[in-house]
Structure 1
Amino acid sequence: MKESLKVQPHHLERGAYLYIRQSSMRQVIENVESAKRQYALRGRAIALGWRDEQIVVIDSDQGESGASAAWREGFQRLVSDVGMGHAGIVMGLEVSRLARNNADWQRLLEICALADTLILDEDGIYDPSTFNDRLLLGLKGTMSEAELHVIKARLRGGILNKVRRGEYHCVLPTGLIYGQSGNVTLDPDSQVRETIDHFFDTFSRVGSACQTVKAFRREGLLFPSRLRNSETTVFRPLTASTAIRVLNNPRYAGAYAYGRRRYRRAIDGKKTLQRREHDDWLACIPDAHPGYITWEQFQENLKILKTNGRGYELARASPPREGTALLQGRAVCGRCGKHFRIRYAARRGRLDAWYVCDRAHGYRGEPNCQSIAGPPIDNAIGMLIAEQMTPAAVELTLEIRREIEARHEEADRLRCRAIERAHIEADLAQRRFMLVDPNNRLVADTLEGEWNEKLRVLAKAREDRERAREQDQLVLDEAVRERLIAMTVDFSKLWADPDTPDRERKRLLAHIIEDVTLVKMPAEGTTRIHVRFKGGKIQTLTTMSPKSSAQQVKTPSGIVELVDKLLDRHIYAEIAELLNQQGYRPGGSARRGRRDARFTALLVAYLVHRYGLRSRYDRLRDRGMLTKREAAARLNIHETTLARWAEHGLVTRHAYNAHYCLYEVPASNVPRKQCSRWNRLVDRAAALKTAMAPKPSTVAEGGVV
């Protein structure tokens, strides 16, 4: 009776909200009594004065945990309606049905107090706006949250106790199963086992998850994958994510591991995954069951993956890539001590590699430390490797041949397993078709189609195997054998062979050289290469730095000096012809790929102007040569006469370009006996000029006389 006094008329004018929830679908199906008790609260609301149509039942959160309200849409609707003043009372069987989280519970109490909404549970009615009722409801919420923690702690404690003994059954990765006795064993399917073995062997050989995926694709192999919540195993193309997941799973090393990840709830209710360090795993028991690799090999694989994913801040030997830079991951800057980055530039139809140390520029805006062209460095290192490897060429040849043959045999064995699996599935499809009633065409046609499909898969597997065997045999019998023979005779020939992949060169380099320190000497135009071998020996090489683009197109100084000498006696066109006859070529012609480029008069004129050479005109003027007008005035003859005299050799002229000349006139102090003919010509010309001159006229008065 006292409780009914809390229900006021303004409460009855609003709705009565009944919230129903159970934590899991299993409880919804099996714990039916709890559901009945929650739905029975409708009678309490009617007894308090609410009409049946005023009762709003919210049961959309069935099978949801009460640990948080982020993913419970029904609870969010309840809070929203209470805040808008639609609810006069909120009913729940107990506090734990409404919320197991104290923050969500206190938020609901605050909103109910502001909206003057009552709360009802199995024990009674409460008014959150009063201190005593709110204190009691707060204690109930705290106890509900503590109860959830105690339940989880008990369950978690039992699981962790089994985990420490290695007896808790976790989901096993593909290739491992639980036997009849509950122990972990290898998958009985031989194709699955051999494929996983081949996967780890390939990774040990190539040293990269991505390269392992590429190797499987080249060999036409598929990787096993177990369907979720099923024991069915299918074969799919290998992906990089699958490869990394397999390499990081300690179960393949025969170790029992638990608690490698930590799951947390975010604000929006979603789970966030956080990886634990190896020391923080809840359990790690090596050699707990059979595995595909040893624990030491698993640790080594993790180190390789960590090295591959790490930047150049520390020294590292990354797996070989397809680029032409031979010192990938091994070139160290001789100034700052950091590793060089590799940059490629497409120039003149080829891809040039550059070793660039630009971290100071990227981080602090400072100039690049060093930028060194790759081809001269790589050529010097290649010659050094060829010299070091020549004594052990025969032994290396045999080892490489055994590795290639074993690789091909392993791939062929896996293809045979795929054929066996396809053959078994085809036989099963055939038996199912034979057992069906022939008159039942609806079923018989479907089974016949499945049988035909399995036969096509079997035929394709056989064709793929034959094709792969032919390719492997071709590679081994022709190309590989020839290279191996060449290696035994001359290793440098094989190293310089364009068909040798750059990745293989880098793999060989990794077994010999630890790192290479490069120091560029701009003043000397050289680069010093300090090579540190695996055994600790250090050897220093020096290479010429390649010329810049401007230096490559620059005309050699010897040609400029020769042009300067030829200007004393020849014009531009004659100089160009002489240079071409002597085999000289313009600067930069080889860089542009123009081997047939020739000098021209215009190009010689450009060189004279570009290098500030004294022109032929100035040289002739310094020697006392006169222009045509000056020489004619000196000889007191017409310019046309001067040209005719020059044609007959009476006057010497010197050309300073293709159309104009300067004239050489004898000095006036030359003895007459040394130039008698010249003086007679001068006297005759003066007499003719006098005779042809008009006579003076006499002017008289009245006219001309």
Structure 2
Amino acid sequence: MSEAELHILAGRLHGARRAAAERGDLRLPLPVGLVHDADSHIVIDPDEEVRAAVADIFTLFDQHGSALGVVRAFSGRRFPRRDTGVWDGRLGWGRLTHGRAAAVLKNPVYAGAYVFGRATSTRPVRPDGTVVNTVNRRPRDQWAVLIPEHHEGYISWQHYLRIEAKLAANRTSTGARPPREGPPLCQGVIFCGSCGFPTNTSYRRADNTPDYVCTRSRSDAVTTPGCHSIAASAVDGQVARLLLAALTPEQVHLALTAVDEVHHRHQRSHRAAELAARILGIHEATIYPWLRSGEMTARQGRHRRWCIPWNSEVEEYWRTRVATSSHLTRTNPNYETGQAV
């Protein structure tokens, strides 16, 4: 068979594959937490511990706002993985790393979307004649196929877009300056007056005093004569005085009121799940996959507050399910039997 004929056959096969993908029928490898059923439909993994672990990634990200915060909150727990190749489909467990957490958060398949062509592969030739395979991620508007609401997911498409925007806002390599932990007031927003590069926050080993240090000053090859560090206390005090002088008491009162309202709204929205978890003696994060999937009867009212109709029959059913589960770690219940949620 000639090379021309092989090229034509390859083109036809590629075209058929692309057509199947545009219909959402092309069977692609799935991330952990999603599987193919007997009819090749994409469904959520039937393993209860796998579902809970994947759902906790999104719940913890909503709470902490970063992939690193998710990893820290997941410390001490194991995270699932599905093997490929010869051991395709075999379930394994390991530690949740930052890379794995970010991969889950960035994957639109968890939002119920069917996606094809998120990356392109090229084979550039180096001057010495060697060929290198490179994979480049495409922006969302250049994906070959995107079918929202193709299957049941762990989150909605709008939720996925919010996560995508938050991750972009956390990416300091592109110039973003997300809020940071720690006492320094101006961390992430101070720039070197000599070279124009942003400063990092450094803490002295002796007394843990924070300093703002030019990021370029750590490399002698690019340091300019004016690059230096400055104690955070020398800057933060002046900035705080200027900020307070510009604010009126009414503005401060409105800001504090808004913070309190957001805090109380968050507490109200999670109160039902917290009480149900305490009654059943399990971790609160286990309740949310049941609520989202509809397994546990509930409704969401104003401000996305969960309301769980709780009675003795419902409690007996879920206590039996928890008791017979081989995956759930049971703790001591803190509430009396039959308490309303």
Deviation string 1:204-249 (CA, Å, 9 cap, x unpaired) is 22222122111111xx433232232533434433111211111221
User: Deviation at 1:357?
Assistant: 4.5
1:290 alignment partner in structure 2: 152
Say if 1:319 and 1:213 are closer, same or farther in 2 by CA, change over 3 A. Answer: farther
User: Deviation at 1:318?
Assistant: 2.0
Q: Please state whether the residue corresponding to 1:273 is helix, strand or coil.
A: strand
Do the aligned residues in 1 keep the contact of 2:200 with 2:215 (CA within 8 Å)?
Answer: no
User: Deviation at 1:397?
Assistant: 5.8
Number of residues of Structure 1 aligned to a counterpart in Structure 2:
283
Say if 1:205 and 1:171 are closer, same or farther in 2 by CA, change over 3 A. Answer: same
User: What is the 5 A alignment of 1:254-269?
Assistant: 254-265=112-123
* One-letter code aligned to 1:317: R
* One-letter code aligned to 2:21: V
Instruction: Give the helix-richer structure, 1 or 2.
Output: 1
CA distance in structure 1 between the partners assigned to 2:286 and 2:230 by the alignment: 47
CA distance in structure 1 between the partners assigned to 2:256 and 2:223 by the alignment: 49
Say if 1:299 and 1:155 are closer, same or farther in 2 by CA, change over 3 A. Answer: same
Q: CA RMSD in A?
A: 4.1
Do the aligned residues in 1 keep the contact of 2:199 with 2:213 (CA within 8 Å)?
Answer: yes
1:327 alignment partner in structure 2: 186
Looking at both structures, which has the greater relative contact order when contacts are Cα pairs under 8 Å and sequence separation is at least 6?
2
Which residue, 381, 398, 401 being the options, matches 2:264? 398
CA distance in structure 1 between the partners assigned to 2:54 and 2:238 by the alignment: 41
User: Deviation at 1:289?
Assistant: 1.9
Say if 1:355 and 1:402 are closer, same or farther in 2 by CA, change over 3 A. Answer: farther
Deviation string 1:359-380 (CA, Å, 9 cap, x unpaired) is 5996864333674321244456
Deviation string 1:391-439 (CA, Å, 9 cap, x unpaired) is 527546635655886796777145699x9799655xxxxxxxxxxxxxx
1:233 alignment partner in structure 2: 91
* One-letter code aligned to 2:156: T
* One-letter code aligned to 1:320: R
User: Deviation at 1:336?
Assistant: 7.3
CA distance in structure 1 between the partners assigned to 2:97 and 2:172 by the alignment: 21
Which residue, 231, 254, 257 being the options, matches 1:373? 231
CA distance in structure 2 between the partners assigned to 1:145 and 1:206 by the alignment: 55
Do the aligned residues in 2 keep the contact of 1:353 with 1:373 (CA within 8 Å)?
Answer: yes
Deviation string 1:239-264 (CA, Å, 9 cap, x unpaired) is 11211111221111111111222334
Which residue, 269, 275, 283 being the options, matches 1:412? 283
Q: Please state whether the residue corresponding to 2:115 is helix, strand or coil.
A: strand
> Structure 1 length normalisation: TM-score?
0.35
CA distance in structure 1 between the partners assigned to 2:165 and 2:184 by the alignment: 24
Do the aligned residues in 1 keep the contact of 2:78 with 2:94 (CA within 8 Å)?
Answer: yes
Q: Please state whether the residue corresponding to 1:274 is helix, strand or coil.
A: strand
CA distance in structure 2 between the partners assigned to 1:361 and 1:191 by the alignment: 46
- In our comparison, the structure showing a higher alpha carbon Rg is 1
Q: Please state whether the residue corresponding to 2:32 is helix, strand or coil.
A: coil
In structure 1, runs of 5+ residues without a counterpart are: 1-95, 97-143, 426-456, 471-705
Q: Does 1:158 align with 2:22?
A: no
Deviation string 1:505-536 (CA, Å, 9 cap, x unpaired) is xxxxxxxxxxxxxxxxxxxxxxxxxxxxxxxx
CA distance in structure 2 between the partners assigned to 1:351 and 1:345 by the alignment: 5
2:32 alignment partner in structure 1: 174
> Structure 2 length normalisation: TM-score?
0.66
* One-letter code aligned to 1:412: H
User: Deviation at 1:298?
Assistant: 1.9
1:610 alignment partner in structure 2: none
CA distance in structure 2 between the partners assigned to 1:340 and 1:406 by the alignment: 44
CA distance in structure 1 between the partners assigned to 2:166 and 2:32 by the alignment: 23
2:77 alignment partner in structure 1: 221
Say if 1:162 and 1:295 are closer, same or farther in 2 by CA, change over 3 A. Answer: same
Do the aligned residues in 1 keep the contact of 2:148 with 2:157 (CA within 8 Å)?
Answer: yes
Say if 1:182 and 1:150 are closer, same or farther in 2 by CA, change over 3 A. Answer: same
Which residue, 351, 354, 367 being the options, matches 2:211? 354
In structure 2, runs of 5+ residues without a counterpart are: 290-318, 335-341
1:301 alignment partner in structure 2: 163
1:625 alignment partner in structure 2: none
Do the aligned residues in 1 keep the contact of 2:195 with 2:227 (CA within 8 Å)?
Answer: no
Do the aligned residues in 2 keep the contact of 1:359 with 1:368 (CA within 8 Å)?
Answer: no
Deviation string 1:18-42 (CA, Å, 9 cap, x unpaired) is xxxxxxxxxxxxxxxxxxxxxxxxx
